[in-house]
Amino acid sequence: MKRQNFFALMAAVFLTTSVIADECDPCCLPCCEPCDYLCDLCDPCEGWTVEADCLYWQPRRCELIYASTGYSDELKVKGIDLSYDDGFRIGAFKECGDMLLGVRYTSYSFDDKQTVKDPNVRASRIFEHNIDNLLVAHSHYNVDLGIVDIEAAYLLRDECDSFAKAFGGVRIASIDQKLSSAYGEDADDMSGSHDSNRVERVTEDNDMKGYGLYIGGAGSYTFCDCYSFYGTMSVGTMVAEFNRHYVQSTVSVEEYTINNRYKDDCYKIVSNFDFGVGVGYDLSAFCCVDLHATLGYEFHHWFNTLDFMLAEVDANEFEIDRHSEDLGFDGLFLRLAATF
């Protein structure tokens, strides 16, 4: 349903262009009219750009296995199937001569779950199994991404048919991931409320908060007066703190018992790479006011993010594996921008 809503929104925006702009020739007027030069002055009430983006991304990562079925010679691994979900991004920038100063906020949340029912199902997230007759496994994964960019850009080119800028800034980011798994004896009851049913629950949290620097470049080229190609790319690095928790419990009518509880925290260096391309269209043009829509595709890659905790007990020695997992997001964006 979310996918249909997103494409319906895109269709509505681009259909409005036939009403707002009857001809293509006036689309370039803001670059050519004398009043536009007044917009370049460092005036608190002039030279602003406000952007609002609709995001339709899919998370990309591995190691979300929660169960397996079959036998040792023909084992089938069950993991969360990652799909698309929506988010938003807003920003405001002030032009002062050849400089652009502004702030941008990105918010994205993904939430999905999966269940497998099989007489040969095996639990993959439990260290100590307390259920004799396991018949059902369920897992629920969600990730919340929040980014604040404080950015400064220098205009390398600002002409009627082309635009280019180099930018850099400070980035503050948080990525919170949660994986909740449950394993039960009753395929129709995952709460443990039935008299004969026991459920093993595992809740895992992996929360990251970091800050750092990034640099990049962006540009566009206008064709047919109203249309433009858009591209951007940036790289960054940050110091990130990771907090992880693992809780395993047994739930039934008679008892609620916490069997294992682990937690750890550490600091790491995390790098990220962002890349996006798109096609823009001028919706309308007035003296010193320009409305613009951009539809595109973008990639966001976070390197060296700490994965969910893996605890091992071998010969009475307890160890935590700190292996890392790259985390990515990619998908469509639809941007509406107003410059005045």
* pLDDT at site 340: 81
Task: Look up the pTM and report it.
Answer: 0.81
Between strands 162-184 and 136-158, the pairing is: antiparallel
Please give the helix or strand (H or E) that residue 29 lies within, else none.
helix 29-32
* pLDDT at site 287: 52
- Residue 260 and residue 240 in contact, taking contact as beta carbons nearer than 8 Å: no
* pLDDT at site 166: 97
* pLDDT at site 257: 80
* pLDDT at site 96: 87
Nearest to 306 by CA among 210, 180, 215, 170: 210
| Residues linked to residue 239 through DSSP beta bridges, in sequence order | 211, 269
Give Cα separations from 254 to 84, 147, 196, 262 (angstroms).
40, 45, 10, 25
Q: How far apart are CA 204 and CA 246, in angstroms?
A: 5
Phi, psi of 252 (to 5 degrees): -155, 180
CB atoms within 10 A of CB 53: 20
SS3 sequence of 103-123: EEEEEEEEEEEEEEECCCCEE
Spans of all domains in the chain: 2-339
Nearest to 174 by CA among 203, 213, 204, 148: 148
* pLDDT at site 33: 44
* pLDDT at site 327: 95
If the chain, 340 residues long, is cut into consecutive pieces of 10 residues, what is the mean pLDDT of each piece? Answer: 54 42 42 43 68 96 86 82 94 91 97 88 78 83 97 88 93 96 76 66 94 96 87 97 91 76 92 96 70 94 90 63 87 92
Mapped onto helix, strand or coil, the DSSP state of residue 47 is: coil
| Residues linked to residue 233 through DSSP beta bridges, in sequence order | 217, 275
- As a CATH number, domain 2-339 is 2.40.128
